[in-house]
Amino acid sequence: MDQAQLPVFSVLPQHVGIIMDGNGRWAKQRGLPRYKGHIEGAKTFRKIGEFAGDLGIHCLTFYAFSTENWKRPPEEVAAIMDLFREYLRELDDRKAENEEKGIKVNFIGDRTGIPRDILAMMAHSERITRKKDHVILNIAVNYGGRQEIVHSVRELAKEIEKGRLKAKDITEQMISDHLYTAGLPDPDLIIRPSGEYRLSNFLLWQSAYAEFWYSDILWPDFTEADFTKALRAFEQRNRRFGGV
């Protein structure tokens, strides 16, 4: 979008988390197989990601595939994995453009069980964007908030086993420093479309003081105007962080 046409805000969140929900229902409403909804949802992901970057939002985390999503029908999981492959190839094709925009790509989650070719493409995307920091794009793949906290605690437990750390010295910051999002600001705003009102195991630790914005719109139908509404709502929130 042309910079002159972009909406202007008095305050923007530094970090926005987005739960991309409703792809399957979108397809079902149209009598289509569920994977068709994921194809449309992937288009929305690209559109909203670019729009948010243009607005100047520093960090975005998209919930793409949860640890629980492996329970879905095999053909649906296979279709989602194919979409990952397509997106990763596109990232490589748009390397120069993304470099100009200063986009850094991170994949957060447990990489166990992800096909090897996808793992290789993920590592390549992270490697070629690692020096950028204008827009941090986190894509949560095989991600679960509880699993992430367990991962952090295990890393600290290793330090205790080695005698480098005492249990009584563990702090909140130490746990944060061993999460997948270490070094990034906690999300200020969590957006969930599709009419559901829950976190679904997304950024549980990091969302302690996040603002939430919900919508009945299914993710494939989510537009830049809807994203703007969420940001306008955030603009009006009085964030006291437990104070007065």
pLDDT at 1 over 60: no
**What crossing angle do the helices spanning 224-236 and 34-55 adopt, rounded to 10°?**
50
| Confidence category of residue 243, pLDDT binned at 50, 70, 90 | low
Percentage above 70 pLDDT, the chain: 96
Catalytic position from the list 21, 186, 188, 226: 21
Domain ranges of the chain: 12-144+189-236
Task: Give the mean pLDDT of 173-202.
Answer: 97
User: How much is the pLDDT for 242?
Assistant: 62
% of the chain beyond a pLDDT of 90: 91
- Reported pTM: 0.94
C-alpha pair distances (Å), 209 with each of 97, 177, 206: 34, 17, 8
CB 139 within 8 A of CB 107: yes
Q: How far are the Cα atoms of 12, 148, 239 from residue 189, in angstroms, in the given order?
A: 10, 20, 11
Residues 151-176, mean pLDDT to the nearest whole number: 97
Q: What is the mean pLDDT of residues 47-72?
A: 96
Q: What is the homologous superfamily of the domain 12-144+189-236 according to CATH?
A: Decaprenyl diphosphate synthase-like (3.40.1180.10)
70 vs 139: CA distance, rounded Å: 17
Phi, psi of 196 (to 5 degrees): -95, 145
pLDDT at 2 over 80: no
pLDDT at 238: 80
Residues 4-29: pLDDT tens digits? 689 999 999 999 999 999 999 999 99
Residue 49 near residue 62, CB atoms below 8 Å: yes
- Among the options 2, 23, 54, 69, which is catalytic? 69
> Mean pLDDT of all residues in the chain?
94
Active site residue 21: yes
For 98-150, write each residue's pLDDT tens digit. 888 999 999 999 999 999 999 999 999 999 999 999 999 999 999 999 999 99
The stretch 71-96 carries a mean pLDDT of 93
